[in-house]
Chains A and B, each alone.
Chain A
Amino acid sequence: MQALAIRGLTKTYRNGVVALRGIDLEVAEGDFFALLGPNGAGKTTTIGVVMSLVTKSGGSVSVFGHDIDRELDRAKSCIGLVPQEINFNNFEKVYTIVVNQAGFYGIPRRLARERTERYLRQLQLWDRRHEIARALSGGMKRRLMIARALVHEPRLLILDEPTAGVDIEIRRSMWSFLREINAAGTTIILTTHYLEEAESLCRHIAIIDGGRIIENDSMAAVIRKLHQESFVLNLRHPVTAAPQLPGYAARLTDDHTLEVDVARGQGLNDIFARLTSAGIEVASMRNKVNRLEELFMRLVENRGAAAGGS
């Protein structure tokens, strides 16, 4: 079954801004799905329509087979949302926020209390349960929104930029938590600016730009579309000129750093062999940019160029 099926979704705001120009998207049950796009591409509008926070202009949306025009309440019951902006009452206590949200989804009070404890513990917020939400740090507020979204145990969890402004340690622990709940059967849709996050977590990806889907495939297939990657090699000893590496484009950015472009199908062994024979020792190596980021930029830039030329 499709966790989410969107067909021909359009949205034009009252001020005339066209946010969505016919989105088609399917997310399979159990998937971990990334929805990427630059600012203003239409990600949050798409999520807003699915959650009925934004009224669509056209098209259809169904969640686990429940069409939002005919069975909106059933569709909503299946979804948990972690929005981009903080949207809980800052003057309420952490515990109250989560337990009340369970109530809004029809979870009886006793069960709501049990689940609130479970999710606040899992997200390391149990010790802060009696504090008003305003007193929490930015990372804690994000985790509180995740606990709130999970308390009715939705089949589909939508996270809109969940790790924005969160330090790397907490981000990693959130990733591990999200992997766990996905492994337990919850379908997850994630929008993020951290493309490393999408590449690390998600199995499928859609890229949205200018209100249209411009890429929609498995993460592996999308990564395979990269024709070239750049590697940064840190050299043990300084060199004065870039070594000769036939078949590769290499450049020296400073006397300890060599950048090499590697086309798809080329290996790295040849580079190391030639450097070794030239007496150059490599201390460490990394990707110049995140692979997905490179592809993302190329797709968006290509679209921009096509739009500019038309």
Chain B
Amino acid sequence: MGAAGVPSLARIQWVGFETIVRREFGRIVRIWIQTLVPPAVTATLYFLIFGSLIGRRIGTMGGYDYMQYIAPGLIMMAVITNSYGNVVSSFFGAKFGKHIEELLVAPLPNWLIVLGYVAGGVVRGLLVGVVVTAVALFFTRIPVEHPLLVAGSVLLTAVVFSLGGFFNAIFAKNFDQITWFPTFVLTPLTYLGGVFYSVSLLPDWAERLSYANPILYMVGAFRHGFLGTSDVGLGMAFAIMALAAVVMFAVVVTLMNRGTGIRE
């Protein structure tokens, strides 16, 4: 408390942040059939078809059986899709339903509103990551060579894609515009980002092109945490993820401060 019983701005901001995260978590749990079940179903089908049926014919990749090889990629794919999807739908929904005004009239700075939504996206990404991991464990054993690497890469990736979802929601004017980027950009980049294969199997030009895909580094670092092997350098991977997180956070907060998409 500050002077005359007035709470300090830091106290207000902490409680405000906690409330945004709590609300986002409540939303994820309230609509669990939309948020937690589909990734489990999709992951089961992937493991069944690519891992169990086709994978048996493929044999090993990177020294591991195919099911073990794709498991980190599939977990990361779910984390990317869900952290992005959570923020883009929640923030755009708040804009569309006008209840974003509940936050805009409150004494919370824009950077804190962004952090709150990003935390919500990270929570959903990680929850879904745990669900997909649980599904994977039904099909195969997944070693964990470097737990900190796993934690660091999944966290940073979830942050980056939550910020991406926020960026999309700021500019979106209708529901079509929140599905365009995930469908036409995010999904192709994820599928081509080494989820199902090692880029070393590709022709030279395609391998070189793949290194321009940031998702390759995220999947690579995450896979390295589990299996101790990957297509990318860890230093480069973490530099890309950290830089993307910092730059996107700065961009999104600047847009919020300008009132882009939220204020007249």
Which A positions have Cβ atoms within 8 angstroms of B?
Answer: 13, 48, 51-55, 72-74, 76-77, 79, 81, 83, 85-91, 96, 100-101, 103-109, 148
CB-CB < 8 A to B16: which residues of A? 103-106
Given the interface pairs A100-B23, A103-B22, A108-B15, the reply to whether A52 lies near B105 with Cβ below 8 Å is: yes
A-B contact count (CB 8 A): 84
Q: Which 5 A-B pairs have the closest CB atoms?
A: A106-B12, A103-B19, A104-B106, A73-B107, A87-B98
- B94 & A89 in contact (Cβ 8 Å cutoff): yes
Given the interface pairs A89-B94, A106-B7, the reply to whether A76 lies near B107 with Cβ below 8 Å is: yes
Q: Is B173 an interface residue (CB 8 A)?
A: no
- B7 & A54 in contact (Cβ 8 Å cutoff): no
Given the interface pairs A55-B264, A73-B12, the reply to whether A105 lies near B101 with Cβ below 8 Å is: no
CB-CB < 8 A to A77: which residues of B? 6, 12, 107
Partner of A55, one of B6, B19, B259: B259
A90 and B30 CA atoms in complex are apart in Å by: 14
- A76 & B263 in contact (Cβ 8 Å cutoff): no
Q: Is B41 an interface residue (CB 8 A)?
A: no
A86 and B99 CA atoms in complex are apart in Å by: 9
CB-CB < 8 A to B59: which residues of A? none
Please give the number of chain B residues whose Cβ is less than 8 angstroms from any Cβ of chain A in the complex.
32
Which B positions have Cβ atoms within 8 angstroms of A?
Answer: 6-7, 9, 11-16, 18-20, 22-23, 26, 30, 94, 97-99, 101-109, 259, 263-264
- B15 & A107 in contact (Cβ 8 Å cutoff): yes
- A54 & B98 in contact (Cβ 8 Å cutoff): no
From B108, which residue of chain A is reached at the shortest CB distance? A104
Q: Give the shortest distance, in Å, between B129 (CB) and chain A (any CB).
A: 26
- A54 & B94 in contact (Cβ 8 Å cutoff): no
Q: 10 extra interchain contacts, Cβ-Cβ under 8 A, other than A74-B9, A79-B105, A101-B106?
A: A51-B105, A54-B263, A55-B263, A77-B12, A85-B98, A96-B26, A103-B15, A103-B16, A103-B22, A106-B16
From A96, which residue of chain B is reached at the shortest CB distance? B26
A73 and B98 CA atoms in complex are apart in Å by: 20
- B105 & A81 in contact (Cβ 8 Å cutoff): yes
